[in-house]
């Protein structure tokens, strides 16, 4: 029964996953409107008679009509703005940033607040019409409606301020950096998702669990997978990293052990290793680095010609990689001793973050100077693996730039500065 302790963390992962969906927040706010109206019915009899009759029902009716009429228009306008921002961001920066902007908490909370207020007003109007709220005892309903109006005004102010930066380049790159930094830090705090680092060869007795569909490995539920492994008395090895593309019938998991019910084990593993058609930011810091690189590459296209954005992306990616620690050297014991996961490779991280900009900006002297400055900084990183990868790839990036930059003085200046930083 030791696996029971993993169930709360699995439930928390589900809550976090669905909590970022717009329909969940809208539904929650609508249910809260029903709850508030029901609670007002319980509070109303407790109000003294002389106080309850101080306000007529018509006072609440006017406020309810204002909310019902205004919220429909405001919600429609907000949805139009949201869709426009999504489309423009996908076109200007990269389509991969679309799903991140869709999860913007301020936008989702604002829309949920508007729709929740609209539901509250409609339900309250219906209850007034059927006689649930009588004219001579409308004090609680009136003040509850005032609180809803105050909440709507606060949401409008917050939404207006948020629209000043929503979808802009700085806000978009900041959001990508924040989510990538968060996922990167979570991964380092729980190395290999809490599993054992898999750096050796696959045991000869292992047998594969094939993927049931082609797609990206989006998410693993390590707590539940540990539970499944304990139940079937097996050990699971994951050859594919989060974000890897898996083809149908390709080995997705290797199993060491002989479970009594092999079909049940395969079904549970397939359910807990989520495969989808797109990569997501959850558990996948490499995807965030790749999106940052795509933004920088898009800025270097002839139609945009914005090397400053590429330089900003290089700096942000460098800040993220500065957090790197070798997962195989962590002092923290694995939380899931029956799971084995490949650790993050430092060379892959640098390629995800900088290879695209190094290629598309090979002829841009300013970009290459900043790239060499970043690589020189990563060469000084305390982790030997990252330092060695930065040294090797930095030399490759420099060789590419020397071939692409045709103006000799620019090329010589780049080489001399790169050499000076390397020796410093």
Token match 């900009």: residue? 357
Q: Pull the structure tokens for residue 68.
A: 């019902």
Residues of the chain with pLDDT under 50: 1-3, 5-6
**What confidence score (pLDDT) does residue 107 get?**
85
The CA-atom distances, in angstroms, between 214 and each of 218, 244, 251 are 12, 11, 11
What is the token pair recorded at 173? 């790159």
CA R_g for the chain: 28
Which of 290, 282, 288 minimizes the C-alpha distance to 352?
290
E runs forming strands in 96-238: 195-197, 207-210, 215-220, 235-238
- The whole-number pLDDT of residue 136 equals 67
Number of helices (H), then strands (E), belonging to the chain: the values are 17, 8
Q: Per DSSP, what are the bridge partners of residue 62?
A: none
pLDDT for residue 56 = 67
Nearest one of 289, 294, 278, 308 to 91, comparing CA atoms: 294
pLDDT of residue 208: 92
- Identify whether the C-beta of residue 360 lies closer than 8 Å to the C-beta of residue 338: no
Residues shown for the chain: 424
What global pTM score does this model have?
A: 0.82
What's the pLDDT score for residue 3? 43
Model pLDDT, residue 421: 65
Give the integer Cα–Cα distance in Å for 104 and 9.
Answer: 24
Fold of 190-276: Aldehyde Oxidoreductase; domain 3 (3.90.1170)
Gap between the Cα atoms of 177 and 400, Å rounded: 27
pLDDT of residue 50: 65
Domain ranges, ordered by start, for the chain: 2-167, 190-276, 285-333+343-423
The pLDDT score that the predictor gives to residue 180 is 92
Strand residues in 81-131 grouped as ranges (E): none
Question: How far is the CA of 408 from the CAs of 359, 394, 397, 405, 414, in angstroms?
Answer: 19, 20, 17, 8, 10
Which of 118, 25, 26, 34 shows the shortest CA–CA distance to 70? 118
């Amino acid at each position: 029964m030791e696996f029971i302790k993993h169930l709360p963390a699995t439930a928390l992962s589900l809550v976090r996953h669905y909590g970022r969906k717009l329909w969940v927040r809208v539904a929650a706010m609508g249910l809260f409107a029903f709850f508030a109206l029901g609670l007002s019915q319980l509070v109303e009899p407790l109000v003294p008679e002389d106080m309850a009759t101080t306000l007529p029902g018509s006072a609440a009716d006017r406020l309810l009509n204002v909310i019902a009429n205004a919220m429909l228009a405001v919600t429609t306008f907000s949805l139009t703005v949201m869709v426009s921002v999504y489309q423009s961001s996908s076109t200007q920066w990269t389509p991969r940033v679309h799903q991140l902007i869709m999860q913007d908490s301020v936008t989702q909370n604002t829309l949920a607040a508007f729709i929740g207020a609209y539901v509250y007003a409609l339900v309250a109007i219906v209850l007034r019409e059927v006689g649930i709220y009588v004219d001579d005892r409308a004090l609680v309903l009136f003040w509850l409606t005032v609180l809803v109006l105050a909440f709507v005004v606060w949401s409008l102010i917050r939404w207006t301020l948020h629209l000043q930066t929503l979808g802009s380049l700085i806000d978009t790159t900041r959001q990508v950096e924040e989510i990538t930094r968060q996922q990167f830090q979570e991964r380092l705090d729980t190395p290999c998702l809490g599993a054992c680092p898999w750096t050796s060869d696959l045991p000869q007795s292992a047998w594969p669990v094939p993927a049931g569909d082609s797609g990206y490995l989006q998410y693993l539920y390590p707590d539940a997978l540990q539970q499944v492994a304990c139940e079937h008395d097996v050990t699971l090895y994951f050859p594919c990293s989060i974000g890897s593309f898996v083809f149908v019938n390709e080995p997705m998991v290797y199993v060491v052990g002989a479970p009594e019910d092999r079909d049940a084990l395969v079904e549970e593993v397939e359910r807990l290793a989520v495969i989808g058609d797109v990569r997501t930011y959850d558990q996948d810091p490499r995807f965030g680095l790749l999106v940052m690189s795509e933004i920088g590459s898009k800025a270097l296209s002839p139609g945009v010609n914005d090397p400053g954005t590429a330089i900003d992306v290089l700096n942000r990616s460098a800040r993220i990689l500065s957090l790197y620690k070798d997962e195989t050297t962590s002092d923290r014991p694995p939380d899931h001793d029956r799971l084995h996961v490949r650790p993050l490779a430092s060379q892959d991280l640098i390629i995800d973050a900088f290879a695209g900009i190094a290629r598309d900006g090979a002829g841009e002297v300013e970009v290459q100077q900043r790239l060499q400055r970043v690589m020189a900084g990563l060469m000084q990183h305390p982790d030997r693996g990252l330092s060695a990868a930065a040294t090797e790839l930095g030399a490759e990036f420099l060789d590419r730039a020397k071939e692409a930059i045709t103006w000799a003085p620019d090329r010589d200046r780049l080489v001399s500065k790169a050499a000076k930083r390397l020796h410093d």
